Structure 1
Amino acid sequence: MKKNYITLLFSLLLVASIAAQQKQTFAIRDGNFLLNGKPIQIHSGEMHYSRIPQPYWRHRLQMMKAMGLNAVATYVFWNYHETSPGVWDFKTGNKNLAEYIKTAQEEGLFVILRPGPYVCAEWEFGGYPWFLQNVPNMVIRGHNEAYLAATKAYFTELYNQVKDLQITKGGPIIMVQGENEFGSYVAQRKDVSLEEHKKYSSAVFQQLKDVGFEVPFFTSDGSWLFEGGALPGALPTANGEDDVVKLKAVVNQFNNNQGPYMVAEFYPGWLDHWAEPFPIQKPEQTVRQTQKYLDNQISFNYYMVHGGTNFGFTSGANYDKEHDIQPDMTSYDYDAPISEAGWATPKYNALRELLKTTETPAIPPKIPVITIPNIALTKAVDLADLKAKINPVIEDNPQTFEQLNQGDGYVWYSKKFTQPISGKLELNGLRDYAIVYVNGKKVAELNRYYKNYSCEIEVPFNATLDIVVENMGRINYGSQINANTKGIISPVIINGQTITGNWEMYSLPMNKEPDLASYKNSGKANRPTLYQGTFTLNKTGDTFLDMRVWGKGIVFINGINLGRYWSIGPQQTLYVPGCWLKKGKNNIVVFEQKNETIQKEIKTIATPILEELKTETTQ
């Protein structure tokens, strides 16, 4: 009887708690953000569920709360959830968006949802599924039937996951963003009229409303780009605007001469690319700008408060005229207040001192860090041995990744010659990085970042030309987002001749850890090689793989792809979350593309190396 009474009491308390949550209201009215009818200033931080191991979500959200924040903002990554056409995953591990939102609410944080469909975010293809490029008549970010049908399907699936998590239903979601930084796209695509651009952005905004979102909407653009990005019925917010007077003036211009005023992306750090210096922002700069916003009643969202990691093949790339592609690093540390591994930085501590109140909780304990004795690599297998078990696609001309129905990883292109040929090899359509072999011998590395698309080559009688091509991440920002196919996307030319006929293409997506159990040791220097080793742990904790003596490739730990490494830096380590390790036996597989020397072991260290650039000798 007593047990039944306790159960009843608990149920009544739960109902009362839910009822209390349902009484929460959030509105944009009379120039203010209103929580339960009272003005509130939003102190938010951007943190993406997909860049943090699910077991660490709560710790990172607690870190945010302890910094003095009251909200978390997150993009939703369409391509993270639609894993193949019409196949959706919102439940597995890091993909459980609803669980992330609920955890934020449990930790006392509101949620700002940024569903795109375009998100940028230094994320593969700006969040778009790669296979959209195979849809006939599809134009990304344009007003066309094929694209709008796809966005409507995405918004519908998303809404079904989060509809009961809006503040109107007792959840923590207080705002939803319409599109993302569309004003910058309008400015870059002068070939499309403003009217046509607006027709598109209005259509996707209407889709968000049609599927059922009922909390306030906002847009997010640079302050000089509101004309292209602002939408009627959505609060315009200014990214990166530190001039308070200008911020208020431009919001007034596009919002009926009133606020509220918000910087939806306040940058306490900055993004970073391979082969470029790691950007640093001093804590006092961030603190000074935060104080300015506080003094002027401006809400803000730190982008990023915690960056995390671009695990697997999730990192994207920028495009500019100097470098055809600027691939984003695996680490998304961003010089954020909370480091990649979830540590409180000096910037974090300084901002906490500024933002904390008497109700701000203590900083949660740091997740333990370990080092592992040098891990012996007991197997080295030439990638050609794996290739030998793959049925190739044979066509007259090289096919793109997309034509091969492949999103990420690598494609091995092979061509047999019955007659000798020599001269300049031109791969003007290389996307993005290739190592060239003749009869198994490495002859060149070609690289889109350095615009190195050619080399001298000599192919003897009855020889084989092999070109192993890596997709280094699709462009996530700018007008080139509609030119995002990968592999070899134009004819292969040698000595001015187009090489056609019987190209063999072997797909190596590396979407799962390669099983090397049945393979013998065959790895050799200057051949693409897979290494395997095991190690045993008595305790687990976070650690960092030291990749400074390696060349270029990816690493799997216990079946999870940690991401890319590249000796050029500035990132020289790979973050290994302790929650992905286990007591007892652990497995590691490294795919090393360049393999200039045979590796015997791999080391770990206790702190990351993110600022060590090296000179690439082969460009």
Structure 2
Amino acid sequence: MQRRDFLRLTALFPLGAASMRLLAADGRAVAPVEKMPDGRAHRFELSAQQFLLDGRPFQIRSGEMHPMRIPHEYWQHRIRMAKAMGLNTIAVYIMWNALESEPGVFDLKTGSRDFVRFIQLCQEEGMWVYLRPGPYVCAEWDFGGLPPYLLREKDIRVRHKDDAHYMQAVKRYLDAIAPHIAPLMTAKGGPILMVQVENEYASFGNDLDYLKQLQAMWRERGIEGPFSISDGLGQIQKEKTYLPGTVLGLDGDTDFAAAQAIAGEAPVWVGEGYPGWLTHWGDKDFQRGDYTDTLRKLLEQGRSFNLYVVYGGTNFGFTAGANANGDYSNFEPVITSYDYGAPINEAGEATPDYHRFRALIGAHVTHPLPDVPAAQKLMAFPAAMARPYASLWENLPPAKAVARPQANELLFAQDHGMVLYRKTVRTGGKLAIDGVRDYATVFSGGRYLDYVSRVHKPGLREQQHVAVPAPAGDAGNELDILVDSFGHVGYGQAMADRKGIVGGVQLEGRELQDWQAYSLPLDEHYVAGLKPLQIKPSRPGVFFKATVTLDRVADSYIDMSAWDKGYVWVNGHLLGRYWRIGPQQRLYCPASWFKAGDNEVLVFDLHRTEVASIRGFEHLHG
């Protein structure tokens, strides 16, 4: 999805002068076919600048949703919501890093990873599928869907055909998923109309041979296409990375005439049309969009389109990604909610946009639309006090000696979480930390001094130095720099976004050497092994625990407005990050993560030491 702000103004862009031609082979105008996947083999073809299904023109009315952002028990409901809005296709990203946690360690089945089952559900509900399997997807997902283990290679060049390590990993990924995709293509009786080759490559590079090689790798594994690419029109014009013979999807643009000049006889469609937009931590408010006029024109002209997104869902756990400039500046992490201002909100409810879009589409199709499915129930629950439970400082693993601070990925093969850098210093002065990724709290002699943030937003100081007091005695003070990470950058040139401290640390201009580094991944193993507090905590870096007692379970939004910055777990499930700078203050929790009776809510906060409350609401917003 294009990150350029001007693309949010899609509704203002003119549609191309030429309307889509719906013509039979003899030149007669015909109505688009309205077939549903039925388990039989179908011919989906590209011909004369249009899509053909079994020889007749076919309009793709697609809405995007991502299985990994949806609790699997809600997959069917979200698909039915899209169908009831008048869509006939679901666009699906597959996030590589959700399937392969370590090199060669794949999980294609548990929880929301079972993309095959999701695609089968689409077919069962009478919906076609536009498959976008990567290897790179962007999607505001951690590292754009690429596995962070790639960053353990110091000189890795991702999205490069000449990097042997990267391409070997891509082959391993395609070997794992292609056998599951091939039987689901329309030619084999499945619902997949076409497969996208990579994603928005022109926003990153200009090596057309890289795309050709990926396409060839799919064909070698039994996927014959049709294939598509999706990109910004300006980027693809500049970089000349149109892959001949593929469907050209326009991201945030509707200049079909200019795009058709590139694609020749291959179809052009709206590969990503934006009814909403992404929100970053520190934004003034949740982003919204206005796509009504653009959708009306697309329908009037019979154009095919994909709404990005019809349903966004949630960046559970560590999955939220980030954006940055090519030089790694202007770092903007994505919030935990992926509501996106979509027509179907995070809890699966129809928004006003949903009803507007449904009315528009319903007026342009020849069949009655299904009834809108009822939304799931949501619940509120009263405030529960979260009390100090464990201290990070009493749960440090063995240290690793390093001459200079290094990134988590290189030091510990650690993809997410935190790292602590410790050194005894015998002087005070101005402490400068070069390359904090992404948020550091600094301590001297066990006392909190200040924070350093890579994120520069209103409400956050942009201090260049932290004042370190001189030690009282000759023994010196322990200097602790605790670094928390957001998701890896997943768009543009800043793709080596390793976490921790990636530069040097200077005290009064002198670089500090010889550190002890501690790996704090905040993963299931680490959290399960926490030793409870022995004494009341005096320094920030505390885990808090609350018990929420429920008579029944339903979805809820957990309010974290009383807290500062950190993470929340419900019954062992990591919901994601919270941060006082907002705009998100409530984290969506699905009913399946709760249970009747007592529920354990664990909170890790980087700044608090005192008791605070959490409570549940029925809405994302106050």
Q: TM-score, normalised by structure 1?
A: 0.88
Percent of aligned pairs with the same amino acid: 37
State the AA in 2 paired with 1:406.
Q
Q: What SS does structure 1 have at the residue aligned with 2:409? A: coil
Which segment drifts farther, 508-517 or 35-44? 508-517
Q: What SS does structure 1 have at the residue aligned with 2:428? A: strand
Structure 2: how far apart are the matches of 1:160 and 1:452?
A: 53
Give the structure 2 partner of residue 439 of structure 1: 445
Shift of 1:305: 0.8
Give the structure 1 partner of residue 12 of structure 2: none
Q: What SS does structure 2 have at the residue aligned with 1:21? A: coil
Gaps of 5+ in 2: 1-35, 457-461
CA-atom RMSD in angstroms? 2.0
Given candidates 485, 504, 519, the residue that maps to 1:507 is 519
State the AA in 2 paired with 1:49.
P
Q: Does 1:609 align with 2:610?
A: no
Shift of 1:568: 0.3
Give the structure 2 partner of residue 202 of structure 1: 212
Q: Does 1:588 align with 2:601?
A: yes
Encode CA deviations 1:81-113: one digit per residue, 9 max, x unaligned: 110111011111011111111111111111111
Shift of 1:471: 1.1
Contact 1:65 1:109 in 2 (8 A): yes
Shift of 1:504: 1.4
Q: Does 1:311 align with 2:316?
A: yes
Give the structure 2 partner of residue 292 of structure 1: 297
Contact 1:222 1:239 in 2 (8 A): yes
Identify if the C-alpha distance between structure 1 residues 276 and 486 changes in structure 2 by more than 3 Å, giving closer, same or farther: same
Identify if the C-alpha distance between structure 1 residues 107 and 317 changes in structure 2 by more than 3 Å, giving closer, same or farther: same
Give the structure 2 partner of residue 48 of structure 1: 66
Give the structure 2 partner of residue 348 of structure 1: 354
Q: Does 1:416 align with 2:424?
A: yes
Map 1:365-376 onto structure 2 (within 5 A).
Answer: 365-376=374-385
Identify if the C-alpha distance between structure 1 residues 76 and 396 changes in structure 2 by more than 3 Å, giving closer, same or farther: same
State the AA in 2 paired with 1:296.
Q
Q: What SS does structure 2 have at the residue aligned with 1:530? A: strand
Q: What SS does structure 2 have at the residue aligned with 1:561? A: strand
Contact 2:277 2:287 in 1 (8 A): yes
Give the structure 2 partner of residue 152 of structure 1: 171
Q: What SS does structure 1 have at the residue aligned with 2:382? A: coil
Map 1:255-294 onto structure 2 (within 5 A).
Answer: 255-256=263-264, 258=265, 260-281=267-288, 285-294=290-299
Given candidates 544, 550, 574, the residue that maps to 1:537 is 550
Shift of 1:122: 0.7
Which segment drifts farther, 60-69 or 323-332? 323-332
Encode CA deviations 1:204-233: one digit per residue, 9 max, x unaligned: 222122222123101101112224331012
Structure 2: how far apart are the matches of 1:19 and 1:224?
A: 35
Give the structure 1 partner of residue 415 of structure 2: 407
State the AA in 2 paired with 1:371.
A
Contact 2:441 2:451 in 1 (8 A): yes
Map 1:80-91 onto structure 2 (within 5 A).
Answer: 80-91=98-109
Map 1:122-201 onto structure 2 (within 5 A).
Answer: 122-135=140-153, 137-144=155-162, 145-186=164-205, 194=206, 197-201=207-211
Structure 2: how far apart are the matches of 1:582 and 1:376?
A: 19
Given candidates 77, 82, 96, the residue that maps to 1:59 is 77
Q: What SS does structure 1 have at the residue aligned with 2:39? A: helix
Structure 2: how far apart are the matches of 1:353 and 1:19?
A: 24
Q: Does 1:383 align with 2:402?
A: no
Encode CA deviations 1:34-77: one digit per residue, 9 max, x unaligned: 12221111000110111111111111111111111101111111
Given candidates 218, 227, 230, the residue that maps to 1:220 is 230
Identify if the C-alpha distance between structure 1 residues 452 and 77 changes in structure 2 by more than 3 Å, giving closer, same or farther: farther
Identify if the C-alpha distance between structure 1 residues 281 and 609 changes in structure 2 by more than 3 Å, giving closer, same or farther: closer
Structure 1: how far apart are the matches of 2:89 and 2:537?
A: 52
Give the structure 2 partner of residue 397 of structure 1: 404
Q: What SS does structure 2 have at the residue aligned with 1:479? A: coil
Name the structure with the higher helix share: 1
Contact 1:523 1:530 in 2 (8 A): no
Give the structure 1 partner of residue 488 of structure 2: 474
Contact 1:523 1:529 in 2 (8 A): no
Structure 1: how far apart are the matches of 2:267 and 2:432?
A: 55
Encode CA deviations 1:563-604: one digit per residue, 9 max, x unaligned: 000000011111111121112222110001111x51243112
State the AA in 1 paired with 2:273.
F
Q: What SS does structure 2 have at the residue aligned with 1:363? A: coil
Give the structure 2 partner of residue 15 of structure 1: none
Shift of 1:322: 9.8
Number of aligned residue pairs = 570
Structure 1: how far apart are the matches of 2:260 and 2:348?
A: 38
Structure 1: how far apart are the matches of 2:324 and 2:448?
A: 29
Gaps of 5+ in 1: 1-17, 187-193, 611-619
Structure 2: how far apart are the matches of 1:445 and 1:57?
A: 41
Structure 2: how far apart are the matches of 1:140 and 1:593?
A: 33
Structure 2: how far apart are the matches of 1:572 and 1:378?
A: 20
Identify if the C-alpha distance between structure 1 residues 371 and 516 changes in structure 2 by more than 3 Å, giving closer, same or farther: farther
Which segment drifts farther, 546-555 or 579-588? 579-588
Identify if the C-alpha distance between structure 1 residues 239 and 81 changes in structure 2 by more than 3 Å, giving closer, same or farther: same
State the AA in 1 paired with 2:272.
E
Structure 2: how far apart are the matches of 1:137 and 1:280?
A: 36
Contact 1:382 1:522 in 2 (8 A): no
Structure 1: how far apart are the matches of 2:167 and 2:386?
A: 49
Structure 2: how far apart are the matches of 1:520 and 1:207?
A: 54
Identify if the C-alpha distance between structure 1 residues 471 and 378 changes in structure 2 by more than 3 Å, giving closer, same or farther: closer
Give the structure 1 partner of residue 243 of structure 2: 231
Give the structure 1 partner of residue 133 of structure 2: 115
Shift of 1:251: 2.9
Give the structure 1 partner of residue 258 of structure 2: 250
Structure 2: how far apart are the matches of 1:542 and 1:415?
A: 45
Give the structure 2 partner of residue 190 of structure 1: none
Identify if the C-alpha distance between structure 1 residues 293 and 543 changes in structure 2 by more than 3 Å, giving closer, same or farther: same
Structure 2: how far apart are the matches of 1:455 and 1:517?
A: 30
Contact 2:208 2:242 in 1 (8 A): no
State the AA in 2 paired with 1:574.
L
Encode CA deviations 1:240-275: one digit per residue, 9 max, x unaligned: 113xxx22x22321222x453310100001111001
Contact 1:379 1:521 in 2 (8 A): no
Map 1:316-355 onto structure 2 (within 5 A).
Answer: 316-320=321-325, 323-355=329-361
Identify if the C-alpha distance between structure 1 residues 51 and 518 changes in structure 2 by more than 3 Å, giving closer, same or farther: same
Which segment drifts farther, 144-153 or 63-72? 144-153
Q: What SS does structure 2 have at the residue aligned with 1:360? A: coil
Give the structure 2 partner of residue 364 of structure 1: 373
Shift of 1:378: 4.4
Give the structure 2 partner of residue 458 of structure 1: 469
Contact 1:554 1:562 in 2 (8 A): yes
Structure 2: how far apart are the matches of 1:349 and 1:54?
A: 25
Encode CA deviations 1:530-579: one digit per residue, 9 max, x unaligned: 01122222211111111111000010011111000000001111111112
Contact 1:536 1:585 in 2 (8 A): yes
Structure 1: how far apart are the matches of 2:329 and 2:154?
A: 30
Structure 1: how far apart are the matches of 2:178 and 2:360?
A: 36
State the AA in 1 paired with 2:313.
G
Structure 2: how far apart are the matches of 1:440 and 1:434?
A: 15
Structure 2: how far apart are the matches of 1:157 and 1:101?
A: 17
Give the structure 2 partner of residue 617 of structure 1: none
